Structure 1
Amino acid sequence: MHETASLRLVDPELLSVIDPYPQVGLPITDVREVRNELARMLAASPRPSDARVERAEVWIPGRKGASDVRALIYSPVNRSGPLPAVLHIHGGGYVVGAPEFAEAGNLSLAADLGCLVCSVDYRLAPEHPHPAPLDDCYTALIWLHDEAAVLALDRTRVAVKGESAGGGIAAALALAARDAGGPPLRFQHLTAPMIDDRTCVEGDPHPLVGEFVWNRERNRQGWEALLGHPPGLDGVSHLAAAARARELSSLPAAYIAVGALDLFLEENLDYGRRLTRAGVPVEMHVYPGAFHGFGAAVQARVAQAAARDSREALRRALLG
């Protein structure tokens, strides 16, 4: 492991996952190869299961002539009344990923909270730049709302949840639903959300973040894939980069969690601050010594604390 400026700040229990952490998704020229490698990894791994949860694959009809949207549904076997729902959006820098990679977490979430989880297999950049990923997730949100009676859901208790790029789409989805008068959301649960393309070109970058797992070059390439042009230009929609939104009032309550060494630290802190100024309730967590994706170190105490905080925030939001 080579020495870096922030290595001394890393939680010692996280050091073991830095070097072997999958270097996925970038450079963009290799994205298809990376996706194929991830598919091979997934196929070679045993699929998680939980006897408390039913799992199903659905194809949600596309809107306005768009292609259908694939999603995985997890629902508790023992139901009691209309269920709360979580619309989950996976991460992957906007260029890789699939709902199967979050399956273990979504199974336990459905079982522990007694909720339905819908994890969206949205289209990926660069083949499908903005607004395609957001459109797919919005289609899934409308479907959950329209099919609430069939799915035995409580329309008033729906949260959107995402990690990294998925967190960026989740934040944008909350904005899109507000702007369009769409289905109401109870909560937005954002883990290290990728929400500001201007981080790629900021004039005074934080010197101690973004050295592990997700760095500035990967971030730049991910944003360029999503936007179809270099990041940081004028005129980028707030529905592509949520931090661009000028008006943040009337949004659902938010949970934002990020590591202190994560490249997204300052954009996440600033978004949380602006939400509070707009009257949006915010629960904000910054985990010391933690970099992007640190939850992969499941035995580390900081990762376990983050997992507990994450689950309890959803429990309070959906179950009261």
Structure 2
Amino acid sequence: MTTLPLVDAGQRDLVGSFPAFDPDQDDLKDFRRTLVEGTTSLLNSASVSYEERTIAGPKDAPQVRVLLFRPTETETETQAQTTPAILYIHGGGMIAGTPDMQAGTLHRLAQETGALIVSVDYRLAPETPFPGGLEDAYAALVWLHTHAGELGVEASRIIVMGDSGGGCLASATALLARDRKQVPLCGQFLIYPMLDLRTGGPDAVSDDPTTGEFVWTRAQNRHAWAAVRGTLGEDDPRFGYLSPAFMKDLSGLPPTIITTGSLDLFRDEDVTFAHRLWQAAVPTDLIVYASAVHGFDLLASPLAERAHRDVVEGVRRLLA
């Protein structure tokens, strides 16, 4: 079946803007290049300036590159004032993408929320399977918290945020922060997060054929999860950090916002995760956008602008 008639009318002609990737035929390096080029163009990221730093990575691992997006100071603000901060983790299924490609969005978000945004250039699979990318993200969180004073950040007002595969890493980073007790988070914002490695495969908890036709497909999802998982067994105690849908205890997490689309492959796993957070007494908002595919917020349209306004409002609430 084709679900194109179900796609938001303002985006129907745009869903082909994203690069296609057939894991059985296409080269991953080509997909990585076209994803970065295409997203950079969609978000006007090449015209945005930012600060680039290299920070200490996980133990016995390379350093981690991070990009800093600072809000513009107003005339009434002074250098002595502190700002909240967002640790942002980019999408790409944990097998592709860079923080640079979203520079346009992150620059705008920093201006509209007044938050310093630190975006992480984590290592990708399959070259670096779990837990490499996650530990890179967590190292960036620890660095942000430890250097809060130097960065002009209020250490008690830090959230983690990510989209798609970055949403998985953001969720897992929040779980690590809870369990390692090094960094107190005041929220997590997960944008159509990739949380359940069963999705798109024979063991999928649900498989609605109206989801997953565009942008991120079942075949891509199976390929990405196999690359990230590597040889990790389901009986490994770290399995819930790999695929947060498997984390048995979700209590003690910070207030959470999850957004997804009704045509997104991840819709059902995102709704299920929100339900489990409610059961664990975690304050959680869930927004499911009608007629929205994966990555819909990147496609210039009234729907994308509505989603952006919701993101800005949600970030402000989490950081309040």
TM-score (ref. length: structure 2) = 0.90
Distance 1:271 1:156 in 2: 26
3-state SS, counterpart of residue 14 of structure 1: coil
Contact in 1 for aligned 2:45/2:105 (Cα 8 Å): no
- Deviation for aligned residue 1:234: 5.6
- Deviation for aligned residue 1:178: 0.6
- Deviation for aligned residue 1:270: 0.3
Q: 307-316 or 25-34, which moves further after superposition?
A: 25-34
Q: Structure 2 vs 1, CA of residues 43 and 210 (structure 1 numbering), >3 Å: closer, same or farther?
A: closer
Distance 1:281 1:143 in 2: 27
Q: How does 1:76-95 map to 2 (within 5 A)?
A: 76-78=71-73, 80=78, 81-95=81-95
Distance 1:164 1:101 in 2: 14
Q: Structure 2 vs 1, CA of residues 203 and 214 (structure 1 numbering), >3 Å: closer, same or farther?
A: same
Distance 2:17 2:57 in 1: 39
User: Residue 23 of structure 1 aligns with which residue?
Assistant: 20
Letter in 2 for 1:48: S
Query: Runs of at least 4 residues of structure 1 off by over 6 A?
Result: 42-46
Letter in 1 for 2:255: A
User: Residue 302 of structure 1 aligns with which residue?
Assistant: 303
Q: Structure 2 vs 1, CA of residues 27 and 87 (structure 1 numbering), >3 Å: closer, same or farther?
A: farther
Distance 1:204 1:193 in 2: 16
Distance 2:25 2:56 in 1: 30
Distance 1:40 1:296 in 2: 14
3-state SS, counterpart of residue 238 of structure 1: helix
Q: Structure 2 vs 1, CA of residues 179 and 29 (structure 1 numbering), >3 Å: closer, same or farther?
A: farther
3-state SS, counterpart of residue 198 of structure 1: coil
User: Residue 56 of structure 2 aligns with which residue?
Assistant: 61
Distance 1:179 1:46 in 2: 35
Q: Structure 2 vs 1, CA of residues 248 and 14 (structure 1 numbering), >3 Å: closer, same or farther?
A: same
Q: Write out per-residue CA displacement over residues 170-200 of structure 1, whole angstroms, 9 at most, x where no aligned residue.
A: 0000001111112011110000000100223
Q: How does 1:234-273 map to 2 (within 5 A)?
A: 235=236, 237-273=239-275
Please state if 1:159 is matched with 2:154: no
Distance 1:222 1:59 in 2: 27
Please state if 1:218 is matched with 2:217: no
Q: Structure 2 vs 1, CA of residues 250 and 261 (structure 1 numbering), >3 Å: closer, same or farther?
A: same
Mark the runs of 5 or more structure 2 residues left unpaired by the alignment.
Answer: none
Of 69, 73, 77, 2:68 maps to: 73
Of 30, 41, 51, 1:33 maps to: 30
Letter in 2 for 1:12: A
User: Residue 314 of structure 1 aligns with which residue?
Assistant: 315
Q: Structure 2 vs 1, CA of residues 64 and 204 (structure 1 numbering), >3 Å: closer, same or farther?
A: closer
Q: Structure 2 vs 1, CA of residues 25 and 163 (structure 1 numbering), >3 Å: closer, same or farther?
A: farther
Q: Structure 2 vs 1, CA of residues 28 and 57 (structure 1 numbering), >3 Å: closer, same or farther?
A: farther
Distance 1:145 1:25 in 2: 40
Q: Structure 2 vs 1, CA of residues 43 and 209 (structure 1 numbering), >3 Å: closer, same or farther?
A: closer
Identity of aligned residues (%): 38
User: Residue 187 of structure 1 aligns with which residue?
Assistant: 187
3-state SS, counterpart of residue 241 of structure 2: coil
Q: 68-77 or 31-40, which moves further after superposition?
A: 31-40
3-state SS, counterpart of residue 189 of structure 2: strand
- Deviation for aligned residue 1:37: 3.8
User: Residue 282 of structure 1 aligns with which residue?
Assistant: 284
Mark the runs of 5 or more structure 1 residues left unpaired by the alignment.
Answer: none
- Deviation for aligned residue 1:132: 0.4
Distance 1:105 1:20 in 2: 17
TM-score (ref. length: structure 1) = 0.90
Q: Write out per-residue CA displacement over residues 208-242 of structure 1, whole angstroms, 9 at most, x where no aligned residue.
A: 11111111111000100100159x95657111111
Letter in 2 for 1:91: G
Contact in 2 for aligned 1:59/1:69 (Cα 8 Å): yes
Q: 275-284 or 235-244, which moves further after superposition?
A: 235-244
User: Residue 149 of structure 2 aligns with which residue?
Assistant: 149
Q: Structure 2 vs 1, CA of residues 56 and 25 (structure 1 numbering), >3 Å: closer, same or farther?
A: farther
- Deviation for aligned residue 1:25: 8.2
Distance 2:225 2:316 in 1: 32
Letter in 1 for 2:310: D
3-state SS, counterpart of residue 16 of structure 1: coil
Letter in 1 for 2:308: A
- Deviation for aligned residue 1:115: 1.1
Distance 2:255 2:313 in 1: 14
3-state SS, counterpart of residue 47 of structure 2: coil
Letter in 2 for 1:316: R
